[in-house]
Amino acid sequence: MPVVIVTGGTFGIGQAITVLLAQRGWQVVALGVAAAQVSSTAAGLDGVQAELAQLGLSADVLEADVSSAKDVARAVEHAVSRHGRIDALVNNAAIGPLGTILDTDEDTWDRIQDVNLKGAYLCSRAVIPHMKKQGGGAIVHVGSGAGWGKPNMAAYASSKGGMVALTSAMAYDHFHDHVRVNMVIPGGGGIISGMSVGRMGGDVDKFVRRGAPGTVAGRPATGTDIAKAVAFLLSDDAAVISGTVLDVGCFFHQGGPVPPRPENTH
């Protein structure tokens, strides 16, 4: 059974990734935090454990802060000692308080970079040596359309822009190690997650009422939609793909989102 570490794997999009990969035969080591994070409703480990149990699935659910090298080392050691290998990593953990550089204080700026960008660095640095010994592996970063710059998201956009560059750099650096590195972008807006709802003060109804262009399917993307794209990039079906950004929802990293449907003018 292949082994994957999913960071931020206990809530929202990360929980959907954990559950889908477990359904598809992966041994998942899901990392999360018990304490509430700034500008997010994501907290606790019970939700993913309850969903897994309801579906008759299992995963290793660990409390770990990805910005802590010590926590990351402990999680990787757990995966290797218990399961003998690490085949894949999904860097999904992120926080995203809103703000310009003028109203983002230094501590908040540092925390966003530490979780979103440094966390991916620490986790990748910890797993790649194991992948190299095994003859290869796969890493997927969960990015954001904000990585190309969005208003009122200065710190978050900077961290996600860094993730875009990191994806490409890692794909180059580990090409000959047979470690594939790709990114998925949740697109179309309207995806219900701890971060998106947290930005609306935790009010799910308010978030939904705000509206979003959604996707070409005629609905907003879901965590499961993102999880399916991640599962593809981790699978042998994507054996030759590295350094790629897969936009799940269309246009979100190309100047989107899609504008509202035009009025009928005839």
Nearest to 97 by CA among 178, 48, 36, 53: 36
Q: Kindly report the backbone phi and psi dihedral angles of residue 91, in degrees, each rounded to the nearest multiple of 5, phi listed first.
A: -90, 90
Q: Which residue, among 192, 105, 213, has the nearest Cα to 200 in the 3D structure?
A: 192
Residue 17 near residue 100 (C-beta atoms within 8 A): no
Q: Dump the DSSP string for 69-131.
A: HHHHHHHHHHHHHHHS---EEEE-------B-SSSS-HHHHHHHHIIIIIHHHHHHHHHHHHH
The strand ranges marked E within 116-257 are 137-142, 179-186, 245-248
For the record, the structure tokens of 189 come out as 């807006």
- If one counts every other C-beta atom within 10 angstroms of the C-beta of residue 118, the result is 18
Catalytic residue chosen out of the listed positions 11, 109, 156, 252: 156
Tokens encoding 232: 């593809």
Q: What angle do CA 111, 139, 72 make, to 5 degrees?
A: 45
Indicate the residue type of 225: D
Catalytic: 172?
A: no
H or E segment to which residue 61 belongs = strand 60-63
Just list the catalytic residues.
156
